[in-house]
């Protein structure tokens, strides 16, 4: 029986998903160490946690080794720019955090005998030729295109995670996260949901790349946090897809946000970015079988909660 409290490290804990995860872990009474360099995270995301007993913030760039005194039982490694606008603005930082940053956090997990969970991504499948995407699909990534800095960093991160497990017996898990949205995304982070909500709240037309017929499957952040916790607490080592199977065209995402905000459905079109995936939907049979997990919050409900949060956040910052 474990007598000391569970101590958990969350890298990227000041980001969108990381801050929701820190909040959830604290609610369970765990000790949470949030490590972040704020390259895409925000102090405001964790300001309300600073006074919570058991929470500690360490401002650190994980591409440098990290030595923490005391025990550590779990490491959630989320540090990495995630929005295409962010990672194309920060190409070398993204490659380095996925490679050196992941190596450093795996070394820490090994030293502390902690279970390590990598936040990987559906982008390891690139512009997929198989639909929906199963974990066994090996992907279709352009190694030198503008998205490769993220895709290949995460593919390397998966490879080194698997190698630590095989070589040292480090207890590892790999979460292949599909598009996730919700409160605490930056309104200007460039991803489709915050962009469309920002445009709707400003009464502007929706900015659509390409035809808008390309699809994504959107998962609400609270569901994703539950999935990450379940995977961490499972004994599984191989990659597991986590996400919603409700696939929507970009134009339909705009339609939903238009309906909920009353913004008229008008579009301004821009060219589709190079290698922007045409369709994306996970096969989540494995997550369902291993973890008993599937999302509980439907997209319209999640979008309503997100719009409501952005209205409040805009009120705070304007
Ligand atoms: P985010 O940009 O909001 O959060 C990432 C956090 O990592 C930020 O707080 C940032 O400051 C921090 N960070 C980046 N580089 C760092 C470094 N070198 N050292 C320390 N901290 C660093 O992004 P998010 O959407 O919350 O994504 C979190 C994780 O989940 C990422 O690893 C991302 O690749 C993965 N993911 C997210 C999605 C999604 O739809 N949100 C989908 C697939 C995978
Ligand atoms: N997209 C869009 N308008 C925007 C932002 C994004 O049409 O203002 C499109 C983008 O080209 C992509 C999809 O929406 O086809 C999802 O983009 P996002 O950046 O949210 O995530 P990702 O491409 O990483 O799935």
CATH number at residue 123: 3.40.50.720
Ligand 1 centroid, distance to 81 Cα (angstroms): 5
- Please classify residue 50 by burial: count the beta carbons closer than 10 Å to its beta carbon, then call 0-12 exposed, 13-18 middle and 19+ buried: exposed
- CA quadruple 43, 111, 124, 237: dihedral positive or negative? negative
| Structure-token pair, residue 175 | 């979460």
In a domain, 196, yes or no: no
Structure pTM?
Answer: 0.98
Residues 226, 1, 77, 171: what is their CA dihedral angle, to the nearest 10 degrees? -110
**Within-domain flag for 226:** yes
Q: Is 160 in the pocket of ligand 1 (CB under 6 A)?
A: no
User: Whose C-alpha lies nearest to ligand 2, atom 24?
Assistant: 84
Q: Within a domain: residue 187?
A: no
265 assigned to some structural domain:
no
Instruction: Give the number of other CB atoms < 10 A from CB of residue 138.
Output: 11
Name residue 216's beta-bridge partners: 248
Q: How much is the CA Rg of the chain, to the nearest whole Å?
A: 19
**Domain count across the chain:** 1
Question: Is residue 210, in this structure, part of any structural domain at all?
Answer: no
Measure the CA–CA gap between 295 and 223, rounded to whole angstroms: 5
Tell me whether residue 150 is one of the annotated catalytic residues.
yes
In a structure prediction context, what are the per-residue pLDDT tens digits for the chain, which is 318 residues long? 455 679 999 999 999 999 999 999 999 999 999 999 999 999 999 999 999 999 999 999 999 999 999 999 999 999 999 999 999 999 999 999 999 999 999 999 999 999 999 999 999 999 999 999 999 999 999 999 999 999 999 999 999 999 999 999 999 999 999 999 999 999 999 999 999 999 999 999 999 999 999 999 999 999 999 999 999 999 999 999 999 999 999 999 999 999 999 999 999 999 999 999 999 999 999 999 999 999 999 999 999 999 999 999 877 665
| CA pair distance 196, 275, nearest whole angstrom | 21
Map residue 275 onto helix, strand or coil: coil
Q: Whose CA is nearest to atom 32 of ligand 1?
A: 78
Give a yes or no: residue 200 inside a domain: no
Q: Which of 273, 262, 223 is nearest to 243 (CA)?
A: 223
Give the C-alpha distances (Å, rounded to integers) separating 100 from 87, 103, 153, 155.
16, 5, 10, 13
- Mutation pick for ligand 1 pocket among 44, 80, 232 (CB with most ligand atoms within 8 Å): 80
**Is position 311 within any domain?**
no
Q: How far apart are the first and last CA of the chain?
A: 50
Distances (CA, A) of 245 to 179, 208, 219, 226, 287: 11, 22, 8, 16, 12
The stretches of the chain forming alpha helices (DSSP H) are 16-27, 43-46, 84-89, 91-96, 102-112, 148-168, 192-201, 221-232, 250-261, 285-291, 299-317
78 in any annotated domain: yes
Domain that holds residue 226: 7-181+220-244+281-296
């Amino acid at each position: 029986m474990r007598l000391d409290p569970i101590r958990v490290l969350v890298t990227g804990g000041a980001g969108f998903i990381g801050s929701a995860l820190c909040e959830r872990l604290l609610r369970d009474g765990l000790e949470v160490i949030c490590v972040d360099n704020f390259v895409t995270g925000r102090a405001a995301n964790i300001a309300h946690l600073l006074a919570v007993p058991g929470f500690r913030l360490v401002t650190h760039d994980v591409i440098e080794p990290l030595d923490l005194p005391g025990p550590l039982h779990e490491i959630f490694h989320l540090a990495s720019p995630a929005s295409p606008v962010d990672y194309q603005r920060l190409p070398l930082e993204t490659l380095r955090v996925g490679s050196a940053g992941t190596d450093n956090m795996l070394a820490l997990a090994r030293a502390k005998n902690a279970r390590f969970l990598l936040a990987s991504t559906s982008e390891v499948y690139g512009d997929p030729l198989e639909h929906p995407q199963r974990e066994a699909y090996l992907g279709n990534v352009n190694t030198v295109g503008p998205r490769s800095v993220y895709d290949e960093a995460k593919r390397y991160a998966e490879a080194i995670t698997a190698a630590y497990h095989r070589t040292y017996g480090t207890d590892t898990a790999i979460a292949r996260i599909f598009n996730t949205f919700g409160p605490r995304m930056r309104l200007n982070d460039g991803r489709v949901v915050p962009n469309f909500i920002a445009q709707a709240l400003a009464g502007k037309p929706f900015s659509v790349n390409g035809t808008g017929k390309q699809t994504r499957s959107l998962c609400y952040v609270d569901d994703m946090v539950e999935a990450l916790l379940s995977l961490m607490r499972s004994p599984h080592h191989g990659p597991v897809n986590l996400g919603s199977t409700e696939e929507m065209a970009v134009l339909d995402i705009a339609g939903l946000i238009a309906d909920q905000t009353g913004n008229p459905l008008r579009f301004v079109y821009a060219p589709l970015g190079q290698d922007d995936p045409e369709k994306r939907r996970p096969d989540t049979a494995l997550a369902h079988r291993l973890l008993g997990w599937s999302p509980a919050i439907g997209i319209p409900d999640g979008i309503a909660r997100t719009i409501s949060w952005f209205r409040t956040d805009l009120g705070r910052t304007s």
